[in-house]
Copies of this chain bind each other. A is one copy, B any other.
């Protein structure tokens, strides 16, 4: 199967990292395609940028030129999943949701360790809507911005471990979820450091997408996520204007 792993921001480096993270534990016959939105912010750190990303991601998946079997939305805490579900017939997995859903099978409570404080309410709201907020022990911020995460890996590693440790010791977390799509590479190392399962949402989402694909189930089209009615929409997709030049989604192929 072919899964589009869609970065919420325009950083192609991060797209490549996300695709690599996604490919690590994918099934052998799963093809991972990293997709970068054609426009938007280079990193998502708030609601405004999150909403931009939601639309840019919708544009990236609907203008993607080839067939695919599932979408993984690789922004942790970003909005938009419901819109993408409306637009597509294939399963759409969001890493915030998928990681939380997997986490509750592994421990009594989980904590999210994320980037900056202002991301916390965005994450809270998704967990609330997902209906799984009661199993979340805490959402802890490292204080590191999305773009800082990769600049000083040593610092990132240390801050993740510090906050995870507090989550376990004081908040009662038994599982740690990495609260940013760009933190995938740190999971196993952090797991070794703190002694509880650590979940990278991209892996969780890929595995759940594979599960749906194998089972032959996809988004329900009976009501909430039914296809939008035909309408004369302007301004979307933006990339239509550049259809003669740059491709809509820059898509480094990774994996099998």
Contact = CB atoms under 8 A, between A and B. Distances in A.
A212 interface: yes
Interface in A7-39: 10, 25, 27, 38-39
Contacts of A132: 131-132
B51 A107 contact: no
A225 B133 CA distance: 21
B129 A131 contact: no
Given A80-B51, A134-B131, A196 B175 contact: no
Nearest to A27: B27
Contact of A172 (B39, B83, B104, B120): B120
Q: How large is the interface on A (under 10, 10 to 19, 20 to 34, 35 or more residues)?
A: 35 or more
Number of copies: 6
A86 interface: yes
Interface string A145-179: 10000000000000000000000100010110000
A63 interface: no
A132 B51 CA distance: 23
Contact of A118 (B38, B41, B224): B224
B51 A224 contact: no
Contact of A79 (B79, B104, B120): B79
A256 to B, nearest CB: 13
B231 A52 contact: no
A43 interface: yes
Contacts of A214: 25, 27, 207
A120 B223 CA distance: 9
Interface in A172-211: 172, 174-175, 188, 191, 195-199, 203-204, 207-208, 210-211
A117 to B, nearest CB: 6
Report the 7 A-B pairs with minimum CB-CB distance, sorted nearest first: A39-B235, A207-B211, A107-B220, A47-B82, A174-B220, A131-B135, A48-B83
Given A47-B82, A104-B130, A238-B238, 7 more contacts: A43-B231, A45-B228, A54-B55, A94-B105, A101-B102, A107-B224, A207-B207
